[in-house]
Amino acid sequence: MTTPDIIEKLKEMGSIPIRNIFIKHGAPENSVYGVKVADLKTLIKSLKGQQEIAMELYASGISDAMYLAALVADGNKMSAEQLHSWAEQASWNMISEYSVPWVASENKHALELGLTWIEDPREHVASSGWCTLSCYLSVFPDELIDRKIISNLIERIEKSIHQSPNRVKYTMNGFLIATGVYVRDLNALIEQTTSQIGTIYVEMEGTSCKAPDALTYIQKTVSRGPMKKKKTAKC
């Protein structure tokens, strides 16, 4: 199938109820068809290895195609410039906080990309950065993770989370969770930090979603036993 063929198929697969849910959560009305994620995944096998098509799907600006692109693309085959472009083009949090970090975390420059993006004044790029760092912790081996860098980021979150934009605040909280789950030797620091931070208020207009309590989430996950590193952050 060509890229136009796939986009036409996505249009046919879309549904108004799912489209309305996505719009309620922030998707641009003029660029989303409303395809269920489970239905998008049925297309992965036929597109496996087609990196060029994945890039074209993302460039279409259609939310459903952008999400599918991330499931198909190999982030390790993308340049830093291409990944920067993806972060900048992300149209809403389903793309900026899932699709972009998934492919970025497959790249050897994942840490550098995440650290660069969290400095960006644009909320969607900064939130991509924090999610990329979370994905990085979940897939990269412990011996490659610099505890000093992670500790500094935790300290930064403690000082700035309450003053940060909504999605940045939400993804900072996600980074604390990822650290507590995947970097166990920093759990004492995470416990101390989350205690200092207290309750995190995130405004999510039009939805009932809320930021999870980091320490409760970590403790519940840890109680199930050691969490193995993932082969990929994609799900």
Share of the chain above pLDDT 70, in %: 98
| Contact residues for 21 (Cβ-Cβ < 8 A; gap 6+) | 34
pLDDT band at 224 (very low <50, low <70, confident <90, very high): confident
pLDDT at residue 43 is higher than 90? yes
Q: Tell me the C-alpha distance between 39 and 201, whole Å.
A: 33
Q: What pLDDT is recorded for position 205?
A: 63
- Over residues 138-157, the pLDDT tens digits come to 999 999 999 999 999 999 99
DSSP-derived letter for residue 62 is -
- Does the reported pTM lie above 0.75? yes
Residue 114 or 225, more confident: 114
Q: Tell me the C-alpha distance between 20 and 99, whole Å.
A: 20
Q: Tell me the C-alpha distance between 145 and 179, whole Å.
A: 11
What are the helix (H) ranges across the chain? 3-13, 16-24, 37-41, 44-47, 51-59, 63-72, 80-89, 93-94, 100-104, 110-117, 123-139, 147-160, 166-182, 187-197, 214-222
Q: What pLDDT is recorded for position 206?
A: 60
Q: What is the rounded (10 degree) CA torsion for 127, 51, 55, 52?
A: 170
pLDDT at residue 211 is higher than 90? no
Q: Where are the domains of the chain?
A: 1-73, 88-235
Q: What pLDDT is recorded for position 110?
A: 97
